[in-house]
Amino acid sequence: MLGLQSVRTNWQFRPGARRIIPSVRRKVELPTMKKLPKSLYDRVKISLEKGNEFLDGDRSDRALEEFERALGFIPEPRDDYEVTYEVLAAIGDVHWFNEDFEKALETFESAQKIFGAAHQHYQPFLLLRIGQCCYELEDEERARTLLKMGLEAIGADLFEEEDPKYLELVS
């Protein structure tokens, strides 16, 4: 089983050099996300690392505990902190590996909402997981759309460690 840490490390989105610039010359304010104080951020990262170790060791119950502990270190409103998307993606991965696709979908969509607010684009790993959840929940049209977006963003390598059925859906 491939844990979230190795997947996330391999598939972090690297924006291209081009950005869409409004035709009217005016300053566009992008939402800014808060950064956690270093002491809290370090606690979150330690819990994420521990959770990933448990997930890699097929201990999803313990992984979920660690990821939820990490989420608990983030003050409310959590959506204001960029690190929240990483924690939610990790929690979503536990649900994914446990084949609880409804919970996984909800969690990955929440993570994408936070990531999108901060970066104004989609995160390919989240597109992959949301698309896979849609596929497993028999929403093939949405699955195809999302998986195709992930494929277009970074290519077939995104599907390297995944069941071939997902790539076949968009090929």
- Section 115-131 average pLDDT: 89
- What's the pLDDT band for 33 if we cut at 50, 70, 90? confident
The predicted pLDDT at position 120 comes to 76
- What predicted TM-score, i.e. pTM, was given to this entire model? 0.80
Positive or negative, the Cα torsion across 90, 91, 96, 98? positive
Output 91 or 115, whichever has higher pLDDT. Answer: 91
Average pLDDT of the residues in 22-27:
32
pLDDT in tens, 56-86: 999 999 999 999 999 999 999 999 998 999 9
- Quick check: 83 and 43 in contact, CB under 8 A? no
> Residue 48: is its pLDDT beyond 60?
yes
Give the pLDDT confidence score for residue 27 in this predicted structure. Answer: 38
Whether 88 contacts 111, CB under 8 Å: yes
CA–CA distance, 124 with 127 (Å, rounded to integer): 5
pLDDT of 39 above 60: yes
Q: Cα–Cα distance between 29 and 142 in angstroms, integer?
A: 30
- Whether residue 18 is predicted with pLDDT greater than 60 in this model: the reply is no
> Helix H segments across 2-160?
4-10, 38-56, 60-72, 83-97, 101-119, 124-136, 140-154
pLDDT of 76: 95
The percent of residues above 90 in pLDDT, for the chain, comes to: 74
- What mean pLDDT comes out for the span 115-125? 85
In this prediction, residue 31 has a pLDDT band, given cuts at 50, 70 and 90, of low
Domains and CATH numbers, the chain: 34-121 (1.25.40.10), 122-171 (no CATH)
Q: Which residue has the tokens 């409103």?
A: 77
